[in-house]
């Protein structure tokens, strides 16, 4: 068997792929957090619960209405995004201009409430969600076996991240968003309905989390706490990338997933903590994060 | 014949938190006029401009733009009435390049300047389109801040200290620009500390003290009123 640095090649590539998959979820979730933080100045602790809602919406659509994976990719983000819009309009809006702490408390409390409601309804054991027929099976690449569904998750999440980045950096709508992140008052005085833009941005960030949830449903078990486990790591990713940096969250998301995967190969005991160690080092050397602008 | 008023401010009060900054501002700006608000630092000139745009935390009284009452409108609806603001700190966005800064404000009415007209007015900008907005010199940033509101079709311009901190040659260029805009029929409300600059381009001046208008001087009577002005503006 081929070995690389003393590790069997299939094990190394297997962990690399796992790292890429985790990185894909880190990237999509931290991207939504970054967009929301940039414009709303709110650290959205509900994000993990909204990711979980995306997975559950897909599960409910399939088991209650017979609506499959492909429609769920569209409908679940739409539905969860709408609940996000309601949350922004009814609750978050009232926190504008207050200290970060209030937003943190509100969104954290909301996450607990949502997770509690789902646990009450579905229990804490995970529910299975089958891989769609079109994406079953895999490719033998010679040095490793690549399951089709995992390849799909990596490709789609990369595409979604890049599309989001392009829209924000290269379009007129994106220039409104960037400008309003810097100086919302002036942008509104130019004739742009900034309050509406804030609501839609929150809805979009939440929809992105739900989209990630649907992608995750066939890989991880659909369970009420699936987001709570993930979101802690995602916050570390956001801190490392730099609060509010779009490109930063994409690059650090994928990068840290891969680093975590490689750690599992070379020093398994450290794999659960490596991201937090990196976070501590980055905070010491570059408090604004790798891609953050010091304010 | 006296032109119709396009901006009528009456009994305007504004607050920042507990502090009551405007105490019943009253003034009128007519179609095609250049009018200045003169006064010492802290007299309430900038707050008046911000209150007109609806971006102060609390305001009361009456502000009519081309006859419509705007005191209860949010800022984006006010801007859509054809009024544009060039803030004192210029408000050039660091995360946008020069072209994006220029194209940022949405068109609110037909008849704005075309890109070619803007570059004819501000040739420096044409050469720096892909630079980051805040990498421009202070004078260029000021020109960009004025240029971007000329694109939108707004015919009432609120310019807050456009010459502040700029070299004399740039001040002259901005003076020429404002005169040109007046010839083109724009209505301009100008906040200025630099009275010599204001006297040459404005039709009338309102003197602002402690959040209200205390005097009005037409440019024609600036000579005889010189002494009055010195008492108002001397620090």
Pairing state of beta strands B19-30 and B5-16? antiparallel
Q: Which residues in chain A are closer than 8 Å to B96, comparing Cβ atoms?
A: 175, 178-179
Going by C-alpha positions, the residue among A153, A151, A130, A156 that lies closest to residue A140 is A151
Angle at B197 between CA B194 and CA B199, to 5 degrees: 105
> Crossing angle for the helix pair A226-241 and A274-285, nearest 10 degrees?
30
3-state secondary structure of B220: helix
Question: For A142-162, what is the mean pLDDT?
Answer: 91
Confidence of residue A38 (pLDDT cuts 50, 70, 90): confident
Confidence bin at B21 (pLDDT 50/70/90): very high
Is-contact B217 B24, C-beta < 8 A?
A: no
Query: What CA–CA distance (Å, rounded) separates A2 from A126?
Result: 37
Res A174 pLDDT > 90:
yes
Closest Cα in chain A to B56: A185
Burial of B120 (0-12, 13-18, 19+ CB in 10 A): exposed
For B27, the token pair is 């003034």
Q: b or e along A215-230 (b: 16 or more beta carbons within 10 Å of the residue's beta carbon)?
A: bbbbbbebbbbbbbeb
The predicted pLDDT at position A139 comes to 87
Contact A189 B54 (CB under 8 A): yes
C-alpha to C-alpha distance for A94 and A88, rounded to whole angstroms: 9
Do B104 and A181 count as a contact with CB atoms less than 8 A apart? no
- What angle in degrees, to the nearest 10, is found between the helix axes of A9-40 and A172-182? 70
Average pLDDT over residues B158-167: 92
Confidence of residue B8 (pLDDT cuts 50, 70, 90): very high
List the end-to-end C-alpha distance of chain B, in Å, as a whole number: 38
Partners of residue A222 on adjacent β-strands: A127
User: Contacts of residue A193 in chain B, CB cutoff 8 Å?
Assistant: 76
Q: pLDDT confidence of B198, banded at 50, 70, 90?
A: confident
Other beta carbons less than 10 A from residue B16's beta carbon: 12
Residue A6 or residue A204, greater confidence = A204
**A188 to B80: CB separation less than 8 angstroms, yes or no:** no
Give the pLDDT of residue B1: 57
**pLDDT surpassing 70 at residue A294:** no
pTM: 0.89
* pLDDT the model gives residue A163: 95
Range from A108-112, A256-260, A291-295, B140-144 carrying the lowest mean pLDDT: A291-295
How many CA atoms does the CB half-sphere of B123 hold within 13 Å? 2
Mean pLDDT computed over every residue of chain B = 91
Quick one: pLDDT at residue A295? Answer: 53
The DSSP line for A89-117 is HHTGGGGTTS-HHHHHHHHHHHHHHHHHH
Q: Which candidate in A190, A196, A245, A292 is best for mutational testing of the B interface (most B CBs within 10 A)?
A: A190
The single residue listed with the structure tokens 């010492």 is B40
Residue A7: band (very low, low, confident or very high) from pLDDT cuts 50, 70, 90: confident
Residues in chain A with CB shorter than 8 Å from the CB of B108 are: 191
Sorting pLDDT into bands at 50, 70 and 90, what band is B209?
very high
- Can you tell me the mean pLDDT for B109-137? 90
Domains within chain B, CATH numbers bracketed: 5-92+155-233 (3.40.50.300)
- Encode pLDDT of A232-286 as tens digits: 899 999 889 887 788 888 999 999 999 999 998 888 888 889 999 999 999 999 8
Contact A193 B76 (CB under 8 A): yes
For A52-84, b/e burial (b = at least 16 CB within 10 A) is bbbbbbbbbbbeeeebebeebbebbbebbbebb
Residue A10 has a pLDDT of: 79
Q: A175–B104: do the CB atoms touch at under 8 Å? A: yes
pLDDT in tens, B213-228: 999 988 877 777 777 7
Q: Sort residue A97 into left (φ over 0), alpha (ψ -120 to 50) or beta.
A: left
- CB pair distance less than 8 Å for B85 and A189: yes
pLDDT at residue B14 above 90? yes
Contact assignment for A189 to B55 by CB distance below 8 Å: yes
> What's the confidence (pLDDT) of residue A13?
87
- Domain ranges in chain A? 47-129+144-224, 232-287
Q: Which of B76, B108, B141 to mutate to test the interface with A (most CBs of A within 10 A)?
A: B76
Under the banding of pLDDT at 50, 70 and 90, the label for residue A57 is very high
Shortest distance, CA A29 to any CA of chain B (angstroms) = 23
Q: What is the pLDDT of residue B142?
A: 94
Contacts with A191 from chain B: Cβ below 8 Å: 76, 79-80, 105-106, 108, 152
pLDDT, average across residues B129-139: 89
Return the residue of B nearest to A178 by Cα: B95
Higher pLDDT, A50 or A271: A50
For chain A, say whether B105 makes contact (Cβ under 8 Å): yes
Does the beta carbon of B104 lie under 8 angstroms from any beta carbon of chain A? Answer: yes
pLDDT tens digits for range A87-135: 999 999 998 878 888 999 999 999 999 999 999 999 988 899 999 999 9
| Weakest-pLDDT range from A196-205, A269-278, B145-154 | A269-278
| Residue A226 predicted with pLDDT over 70 | yes
Does position A1 have pLDDT exceeding 70, yes or no?
A: no
**Is the pLDDT reported for residue B4 higher than 60?**
yes
| pLDDT value for B235 | 53
Band of pLDDT at residue A221, cut at 50, 70 and 90: confident
Mean pLDDT of B59-70: 95
What's the pLDDT at A143? 79
Under 8 Å CB pairs connecting chains A and B tally to 57
Contacts of B192 (CB under 8 A, 6+ apart): B36, B37, B38, B161, B163, B198
pLDDT for A30 beyond 70: yes
Distance from CA of A195 to the nearest CA of B (A): 10
Q: What number is the average pLDDT over the span A128-154?
A: 89
């Amino acid at each position: 068997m081929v070995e690389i640095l003393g590790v069997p090649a299939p094990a190394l590539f297997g962990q690399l792929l796992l790292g890429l998959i985790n990185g894909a979820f880190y990237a999509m979730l931290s991207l939504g957090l970054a967009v929301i933080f940039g414009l709303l100045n709110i650290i959205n602790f509900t994000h993990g619960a909204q990711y979980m809602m995306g997975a559950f919406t897909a599960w409910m659509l399939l088991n209650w209405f017979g609506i499959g994976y492909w429609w769920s990719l569209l409908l679940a983000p739409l539905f969860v995004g709408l609940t996000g819009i309601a949350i922004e309009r009814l609750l978050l809006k009232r926190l504008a201009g207050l200290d970060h702490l209030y937003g943190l408390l509100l969104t954290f409390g909301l996450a607990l409430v949502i997770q509690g409601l789902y646990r009450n309804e579905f229990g804490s054991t995970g529910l299975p969600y089958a891989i769609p027929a079109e994406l079953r099976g895999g490719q033998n690449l010679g040095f490793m076996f690549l399951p089709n569904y995992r390849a799909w998750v990596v490709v789609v999440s990369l595409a979604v991240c890049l599309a989001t980045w392009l829209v924000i950096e290269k379009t007129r709508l994106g220039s409104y968003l960037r400008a309003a992140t810097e100086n919302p008052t002036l942008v509104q005085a130019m004739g742009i309905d900034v309050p509406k833009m804030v609501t839609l941005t929150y809805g979009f960030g939440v929809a992105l989390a739900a989209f990630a949830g649907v992608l995750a449903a066939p890989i991880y078990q659909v369970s009420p706490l699936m987001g709570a486990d993930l979101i802690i790591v995602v916050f570390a990713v956001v801190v490392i990338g730099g609060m509010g940096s779009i490109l930063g969250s994409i690059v650090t998301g994928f990068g840290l997933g891969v680093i975590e995967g490689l750690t599992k190969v070379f020093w398994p005991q450290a794999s659960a903590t490596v991201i937090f160690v990196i976070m501590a080092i980055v905070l010491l050397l570059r408090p604004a994060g790798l891609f953050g602008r010091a304010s | 014949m006296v032109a119709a008023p396009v901006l009528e401010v009456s009994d305007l009060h504004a607050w920042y938190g507990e502090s009551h900054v405007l105490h019943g501002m009253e003034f009128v700006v007519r179609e095609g006029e250049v009018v200045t608000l003169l006064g010492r630092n802290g007299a309430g000139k900038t707050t008046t401009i911000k209150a007109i745009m609806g971006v102060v935390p609390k305001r009361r009284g009456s502000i009519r733009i081309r006859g419509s009452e705007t005191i209860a409108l949010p800022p984006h609806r006010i801007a859509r009435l054809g009024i544009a603001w060039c803030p004192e700190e210029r408000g050039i966005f660091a995360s946008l390049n020069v072209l994006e800064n220029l194209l940022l404000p949405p068109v609110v009415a037909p008849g704005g300047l075309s890109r070619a007209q803007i570059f004819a007015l501000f040739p420096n900008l044409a050469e720096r389109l892909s630079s980051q907005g805040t990498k421009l010199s202070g004078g260029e940033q000021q020109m960009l801040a004025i240029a971007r509101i000329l694109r939108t079709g707004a015919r009432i311009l609120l310019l807050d200290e456009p010459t502040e901190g700029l070299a004399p040659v740039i001040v002259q260029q901005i003076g020429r620009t404002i005169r040109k805009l007046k010839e083109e029929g724009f209505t301009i409300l100008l906040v200025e500390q630099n009275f010599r600059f204001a006297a040459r381009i404005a039709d009338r001046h309102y003197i602002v003290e402690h959040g209200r208008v205390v005097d009005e001087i037409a440019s024609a009577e600036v000579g005889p009123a010189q002494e009055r002005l010195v008492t108002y503006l001397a620090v």
